[in-house]
Structure 1
């Protein structure tokens, strides 16, 4: 479609030049063609000012708008995930940025503080646990001897770094002086609505502690819905606390302990930044939740005591 030279389209595209040229013409007439005492001299000069300044301001505003868009696009590229992946200077860049962030608060221990922060970031297949829930039930096997059965029903969402195969560990520690009453087994395990094979790694002793380790091979997803039930039998007089120490980062945790009337239980945090919140506490139940992030080696402890 052809447009006339006098059409609005052509006028709009060339208006800036038209106003600029008209402004120059008005300046020329005002300064060189008008008598210095004439009122028209000032009128022509002011008219030229309006046209020239209007064109300059319009240009600057359009340039600023363009530069703003360009700057945003450039930031999207520079700070984009794909671009950052290719950078070889992530560690020194992070150190420089964190130094600016923390220099006013930690000038003397900046490097040590940064090392601690870096140590919490996952470098293996597991990124973090999400919505970790544990329901623990204590039952008497023989109250006179102090033998109890502890059933721990655990559910959580495991977020993996990739779909590649990795080994998920199932490990527990128990203090046992006489192994005659000790028993430890996983009676149920479901991962993404399927039952994987549990490999028994074995158990080893460290003084009076027994570490029982098993593992499950997982692959093909970056999110695993895991539920398992562990049943342990041991003497409460030998091992008098039940605890959780995170191996990976945990996002939100909820724990519930049900116990007999003749057992006293106390709950305490294990190095967490915030306190656990009460959900329900009664004579035979302690239920707590943590709404924030639990870092590796943090968790909780239930201290148990048989009431005589």
Structure 2
């Protein structure tokens, strides 16, 4: 009994059942059709039994074929959407565009291509080699010359640079711009401190006057780490009549941003620039403002603050 049970539970036997039924049904049908019987009822009985078995076997074979195609389809889908397979595709931009159009349900066909292009190039960091994490600024502003309305700005900044390839060496560039109008001699910029992973770094910088602006560029070489904790302090002096805007709009993606302003004797109007949500006010009092953004700030997003002297 156990032997019979094992035979009927055997996967090979179960897989062969439709073929056994098909062959048996075909033989019975042929036997009933071509064999000589004294009674025609026996011929009809055998051929009918054969037809029944043939029909059942054909149905079972067709069902197994459909099941096989379903399994094959699932396996094919898994291969197509596997990361290793996608990584080797050379048509990912076109593939991305087709998927985005489908998600949009083909809305706005006249501008859909431009929408997908902007999303891919601006919001997806496909060309970025790093992003900023936990960006924190402390900005102290005070008037140092009432006659000329000159302010001194001490800006302390801390953040972590997260590179795409930790082991690669790359040069990270910074840039600062101050409008100087018709009084470039009253405008100044200097780096007071620059640290990478708690180690003091000597950072050379170049300043030049371009189109009534003082542009300062400086850079640091980074290598061999999965993250770089940057700490820098800069000092700026300039007349408010030439430049009364402080801003932080980066070319890089920033994850989480917090800024504090100390602005004794000055008013400050904070404006969100291009953000998907507004900066949240954590604390505000006379001469002090703290704002925070939880989430992703994309390139060309950030804030500006307009400062004015209290009369």
TM-score band by shorter chain is 0.7 to 0.9
Q: Which moved more, 1:89-98 or 1:291-300?
A: 89-98
For residue 81 of structure 2, the aligned residue among 58, 75, 92 is: 75
Maintained 8 Å contact 2:192/2:234:
yes
Q: Structure 2 regions of 5+ residues with no counterpart?
A: 34-39
Cα deviation, residue 9, structure 1: 9.1
Aligned residue for 2:67? 61
For residue 190 of structure 1, the aligned residue among 188, 195, 219 is: 195
Give the 3-state SS of the residue equivalent to 1:104 in structure 2: coil
Taking the TM superposition and a 5 Å limit, the aligned residue runs for 1:130-169 are 130-143=133-146, 145-162=148-165, 163-169=167-173
Alignment: residue pair count: 299
Deviations 1:243-275 (A, max 9, x none): 112122223322221221x21111001233432
Aligned residue for 1:128? 131
Verify: 1:259 aligned to 2:263, yes or no.
yes
Cα deviation, residue 114, structure 1: 4.8
Verify: 1:291 aligned to 2:297, yes or no.
no
Q: Structure 1 regions of 5+ residues with no counterpart?
A: none
Between the aligned partners of 1:244 and 1:116, the Cα distance in structure 2 is 22
Aligned residue for 1:274? 277
Maintained 8 Å contact 1:16/1:55:
no
Taking the TM superposition and a 5 Å limit, the aligned residue runs for 1:26-65 are 32=32, 35=41, 53-54=59-60, 56-58=62-64, 60-65=66-71
Aligned residue for 2:37? none
Q: Which moved more, 1:53-62 or 1:181-190?
A: 53-62
Backbone CA RMSD of aligned residues: 3.9
TM-score if structure 2 supplies the norm length?
0.75
For residue 213 of structure 1, the aligned residue among 196, 214, 217 is: 217
Between the aligned partners of 2:198 and 2:305, the Cα distance in structure 1 is 31
Maintained 8 Å contact 2:135/2:258:
yes
Cα deviation, residue 50, structure 1: 5.8
TM-score if structure 1 supplies the norm length?
0.76
Between the aligned partners of 1:144 and 1:188, the Cα distance in structure 2 is 30
